[in-house]
Amino acid sequence: MAAWGERLAGVRGVLLDISGVLYDGGEGGGAPIAGSVEALARLKRSQLKVRFCTNESQKSRGDLVGMLRRLGFDISEGEVTAPAPATCLILKERGLRPHLLIHDGVRSEFDQIDTSNPNCVVIADAGEGFSYQNMNKAFQVLMELENPVLLSLGKGRYYKETSGLMLDVGPYMKALEYACGIEAEVVGKPSPEFFKSALREMGLEAHQAIMIGDDIMGDVSGAQRCGMRALQVRTGKFRPSDEHHPEVKADGYVDNLAEAVDLLLQHADK
């Protein structure tokens, strides 16, 4: 593999995944990953542009940022690209009135959305809200529509909490796709539209930006298919087999965000 200087040449901005990179979620709000608070602070003091790109769909953007600030991270709401606000834009643009299968923690993001007489279903990481009854209701709403529309806030397979691996929204999206014989529209990583909106908000072209994430598909493959570079951290949901994935090869593997920032500050934009 080429030297780091070559791999990171021309990078002017960094897109950071949040869960599994900055912190690990879990009971009591989660805990920072060792070195990440300080690494983010160093990154923000550098000349590199920084933006956060998350598929978090259990919390509103405000609650997420509040929690991260309490953990010590330098982050503000305006720096975060998240699927719930992106979904609200799509709903308004297309005149869609959703049946919401979502976590109560993110419901406030949809306060301004008309949910009467639904003509689509929005599914997010509902956690315990993925009861049989709630899934069956979403299924029935879709089956009654002439042109069933299913919007999914991400399609992650699972994430890691302190208590272990937890099913994400993706498996439930697949369940509804199979039950109804339809294909969902994904809002969030790895959707190219979602990465592009984050790049627009940073004012950079894809080749000038690098994604740092723990998810080989959602972060690494998604960003690369968008023309960006991508580093995978060996924290969060990273598994050693990711480094031998048959199809996806990150532009580099690092132990954690701190190592990624060390390398970036040393080699980027040189």
Strand partners, 213: 232
Q: Closest separation between CB of residue 157 and a second copy, Å?
A: 5
Q: Report the alpha-carbon distance of residue 166 to residue 156 in Å, rounded.
A: 11
3 state DSSP class of 233: strand
Q: Which is nearer to a second copy, 61 or 189 (CB)?
A: 189
CB 17 within 8 A of CB 230: no
Q: What is the DSSP letter of 203?
A: T
Q: Which is nearer to a second copy, 174 or 267 (CB)?
A: 174
Q: Closest separation between CB of residue 180 and a second copy, Å?
A: 8
The identity of residue 135, as a single letter, is M
Q: Closest separation between CB of residue 121 and a second copy, Å?
A: 13
Q: Which is nearer to a second copy, 136 or 266 (CB)?
A: 136
Q: Closest separation between CB of residue 17 and a second copy, Å?
A: 19
Q: Closest separation between CB of residue 150 and a second copy, Å?
A: 12
Q: Report the alpha-carbon distance of residue 81 to residue 28 in Å, rounded.
A: 24
Q: Which is nearer to a second copy, 75 or 173 (CB)?
A: 173
If phi > 0 it is left, if psi is from -120 to 50 it is alpha, else beta; for residue 74 that is: beta
Residues lying near a second copy in the complex (CB under 8 A) are found at: 126-133, 135-136, 139-140, 143, 157-158, 164-168, 170-172, 174-181
Classify burial at 82, counting beta carbons within 10 Å of its beta carbon; exposed 0-12, middle 13-18, buried 19 or more.
buried
Classify burial at 117, counting beta carbons within 10 Å of its beta carbon; exposed 0-12, middle 13-18, buried 19 or more.
exposed
Strand partners, 232: 213, 253
Q: Closest separation between CB of residue 172 and a second copy, Å?
A: 6
Q: Which is nearer to a second copy, 7 or 157 (CB)?
A: 157
Q: Which is nearer to a second copy, 4 or 158 (CB)?
A: 158
